[in-house]
Amino acid sequence: MKNKNIHPISDRLIAQTEKEKLLGSKGTVFWLYGLSGSGKSTMALKMEKRLHEKGIHSVVLDGDNLRSGLNQDLSFSEKDRRENIRRVSEVAKIFSANGLIVFVSLITPLREFRQSARTIIGDHYFQEVFVKASFNTCQERDVKGLYAKASDGLVPSFTGQGSDFEEPVDQQFIIDSEKESEDISSDKLFQFVLDSISL
């Protein structure tokens, strides 16, 4: 039931298209998802830097950053993961509606979570990017030490081990960080970003 005392002013804001003209690019959310250690944050940071060098402003919404602030009250249960996705989607939607380019870096393990994000943000402004790497490869990298902790039973509901990760069934944009070099992945994704944000 909606609160009758809430009166959004969305219809009185300057149109997104007008803000995009000012910024020179289309407000778009690039949702990078994959296992922990697959390279999501690395790619998001590279895109932010490369766009900055071209004079294009962007925002990075990283899962660990958000869980240390906005979402610090959430666990890794399926219910709280769903709420985590909802909150991040709403924030990303606000940024993109203001003409900004947003890179979201979240594991987003279930297809229903990704669909939920797409629904909230809007299909026209949402680009899925699957950063692909196998559990074994990510375990070997173990950049945050999480896989070792998970093996010792110190990380409950660890994605890929105690919690499912569903790969996409549709042909989405894929960065294969297991088979491609970081530079090749970066160039490939950057071109996709430039094509997507072009007015």
Number of domains in the chain: 1
**Mean per-residue pLDDT over the chain, rounded:** 90
d(CA 165, CA 85): 15
Least confidently predicted of 77-81, 108-112, 148-152, 164-168? 148-152
Q: pLDDT class for 140, splitting at 50, 70, 90?
A: confident
Residue spans of beta strands (DSSP E) within the chain: 29-33, 58-62, 101-105, 126-132, 173-176
Tell me, what's the pLDDT at 9?
A: 86
Retrieve residue 109's tokens.
Answer: 């393990």
d(CA 120, CA 76): 21
d(CA 59, CA 197): 14
Residue 134 lies in a domain: yes
Least confidently predicted of 10-19, 158-167, 174-183? 158-167
d(CA 71, CA 170): 30
Mean pLDDT, range 184-195, rounded to an integer: 97
Domain that holds residue 63: 10-197
d(CA 141, CA 41): 14
Tell me, what's the pLDDT at 170?
A: 80
Residue 63 lies in a domain: yes
Q: pLDDT class for 185, splitting at 50, 70, 90?
A: very high
CATH number for position 44: 3.40.50.300
Percentage with pLDDT > 90 across the chain: 70
pLDDT over 60 at 1, yes or no: no
Residue 128 lies in a domain: yes
Residue written as tokens 């196998």? 134
Question: Angle, nearest 10°, between helix axes 182-197 and 40-53?
Answer: 60
Tell me, what's the pLDDT at 160?
A: 56
Q: pLDDT class for 105, splitting at 50, 70, 90?
A: very high
Among 139, 176, 134, 170, smallest CA distance to 155 is for 139
Mean pLDDT, range 37-53, rounded to an integer: 96
d(CA 31, CA 47): 12
Residue with the bigger pLDDT between 161 and 11: it is 11
Residue 2 lies in a domain: no
pTM of the full structure: 0.90
